[in-house]
Structure 1
Amino acid sequence: MSLQLVGKHVQMLEQHLGVRLLNRTTRRQHLTEIGAGYYEKVKIILAEVESAEALAAESQAKPSGRLRINAPVSFGIHALMPRLAEYMAVYQEVQVEVSLANRYVDALTAGVDVIFRVGELSDSGVIARRLAPYRLVLCAAPAYLRANPPIHTPMDLAHHECLSFSYTELRTHWTFDGPGGLLTVPVTGRLMIDNGEALLIAARSGMGVLLQPAELVEPEIAAGRLVRVLPKYHPPSRPLHLLYAPDRQMTPKLRSFIEFAVAAFGPSTA
């Protein structure tokens, strides 16, 4: 704009506000006290408008870049990986880095974008999206069941080798929902492992009774290598959440994966 046009705009603004923004002399112009305060406020407003426009533009951008995901091992192998191809086929400019671990991962400091978490949440300061509950199934190998006392109720498990999973309460007690309501029983066994796939091999070898996720054991039950135990008693499902830090910038890649995960593993799939 020319200086004359700028001056005309300022005069119109002063008329609109009913205050003087500039002190004018024949040699120079400078802000009045109210003009200086008004200018500082307007700068903040313009910055916010610019930020809002950038956010709107970003929401239209194509998801791209590296997306870092953490998940428990069994869920990652048997639930996440079979579905991940669908996401990557749609968003071909996203590079996915998956880390699988059964140990606790801090969503605020782990350096990952999203975390799948099985079990009750103890994290504070994170955003959690609830997914479909994680179903568990009790089973054992036919050879083990033939060689050991029958299992008619959960209390009979006290006389059996129970294959324990490290890191969770499943290493010491199992809970069932049966005809008489909820029942928690202590379990013991000589073998404890921090990996569901290793526990599955132990169960198939006839080493004990197994309580693990449905995705892991149902193919083995269908093939006859494992047999479901106590079908009238159902282990309560465990909560499953998708976590991310509240200060994590909601980039197109993060937003796209959250939407995909909720659609793929959300409550509607339960």
Structure 2
Amino acid sequence: MDTLRCMQAFAAVADHGSFARAAEQLQVSAVMVGKYIQQLERHLGAALLQRNTRRQRLTEAGAAYLAGCRQVLEQVQQAEASVAGLQLQPRGLLRVSAPSTWGSCVLAPALASLLQAQPLLNIELDLSNRTVDLIEDGFDAAIRVGPLPSRELVARPLPPYAMSLCASPAYLQRRGTPQLPSDLAVHDCLGHLAWRGGHGWRLASGEPVDWEPRARLSSNDGQALRQAALAGAGLVLQPTALLGEDIAAGRLVSVLEAYLPVPRPMHLIYLPDRRPRPRLQCFVDFLVERFPVSPETWSGSTEPRSASAQRGAA
């Protein structure tokens, strides 16, 4: 029995959740992957995986054995790298998913310096607010806004995702400055179509604000709402990433700051790998350095409880 090859097959199945995907990584057939697992289970005298028609799950014995497998495979990789003397420069294509607004306003401009520093690296930046699966959708990393439902992904904290509520100086001079959330009932509020259905603006007061009767302009695009606010059309509630520069320049004036929604956590997520590829590692290092968080925000990387990837998000 080729123990090392069997370990590689077992770790690949645990990582990808199926024999077929493990076979693609190892460049063998799914049948051969199954044989490797069977040989390993016979050798150990214990079942390592619980199988169904769609996915594989680790047994208790499998979870315990996987940790040892990873250590062995890591040592083999390190030994091979030291013999070859390879410290590869980041190169190739890195696929990243990010939220539309933060990705276009913050991440995309920042990536210019990374691309200049790494001339062999290419980045495909997919901007969408949909939830992505890192494995099924083929992403190396994603930016997720909101709480993390799983510890099975590595998560590095980024500065929280904050919102701003503001209007142009001309609008506030014409209509007055709201002092309480209830004042919004007599103001023109620029509505996002994603908030249709009575959701309203849920400010820190805890009560949703009924802005819909005064939403004389609605759009499915935050940039369009920003432009309308700059032109004096009304009050806009959008991410600070979109509005921050206008507020700093005085083109927009922040209001009701004491009632703004609580900033949501934001993380860079990627699949666990004790020896990440250079292109992923340089991207992680770049984001952590470029967007530092305060010590109280940092909670460390999550340790994978199993190698199956849960759904990431953008």
What is the letter of the counterpart of residue 120 of structure 2? Answer: E
Length-normalised TM-score, structure 1: 0.68
Instruction: State yes or no: 1:100 paired with 2:127.
Output: yes
Report the equivalent of 1:185: 208
Length-normalised TM-score, structure 2: 0.60
Report the equivalent of 2:178: 151
User: Which stretch shifts more, 90-99 or 210-219?
Assistant: 210-219
* RMSD over aligned Cα atoms: 3.4
Report the equivalent of 1:217: 243
CA contact (8 A) 1:135 1:213 kept: yes
Q: How do 1:12-27 residues align onto structure 2 when only pairs under 5 Å count? A: none
CA contact (8 A) 1:173 1:184 kept: no
Query: Structure 2: how far apart are the matches of 1:108 and 1:254?
Result: 15
Instruction: State yes or no: 1:238 paired with 2:264.
Output: yes
* Distance change >3 Å, CA 70–CA 248, structure 1 → 2: farther
* Distance change >3 Å, CA 69–CA 208, structure 1 → 2: same
Report the equivalent of 1:267: 293
- SS at 1:66 equivalent: strand
Instruction: State yes or no: 1:89 paired with 2:116.
Output: yes
* Distance change >3 Å, CA 197–CA 156, structure 1 → 2: same
Q: How do 1:157-176 residues align onto structure 2 when only pairs under 5 Å count? A: 157-167=184-194, 172-176=199-203
Offset at residue 75 of structure 1 (A): 1.1
Extract unaligned runs of 5+ from structure 1: 1-39
Query: Structure 2: how far apart are the matches of 1:122 and 1:167?
Result: 23
* Distance change >3 Å, CA 94–CA 170, structure 1 → 2: farther
Report the equivalent of 1:129: 156
CA contact (8 A) 1:136 1:237 kept: yes
Percent same amino acid at aligned positions?
A: 38
User: Which stretch shifts more, 121-130 or 151-160?
Assistant: 121-130
Query: Structure 2: how far apart are the matches of 1:256 and 1:129?
Result: 14
Offset at residue 59 of structure 1 (A): 7.7
What is the letter of the counterpart of residue 266 of structure 2? Answer: L
* Distance change >3 Å, CA 59–CA 106, structure 1 → 2: farther
User: Which stretch shifts more, 52-61 or 256-265?
Assistant: 52-61
Q: Output one character per residue of 1:112-156: Cα deviation in whole Å (capped at 9) or x when no partner.
A: 211112233456743322211122211012333234354111122
What is the letter of the counterpart of residue 216 of structure 1? Answer: L
Query: Structure 2: how far apart are the matches of 1:127 and 1:167?
Result: 30
* Distance change >3 Å, CA 170–CA 201, structure 1 → 2: farther
What is the letter of the counterpart of residue 259 of structure 1? Answer: D
Extract unaligned runs of 5+ from structure 2: 1-42, 45-68, 298-314
Give the aligned length: 223
Report the equivalent of 1:15: none
- SS at 1:163 equivalent: strand
Query: Structure 2: how far apart are the matches of 1:260 and 1:71?
Result: 15
Report the equivalent of 1:22: none
1:203 is aligned, of 223, 229, 242, to 229
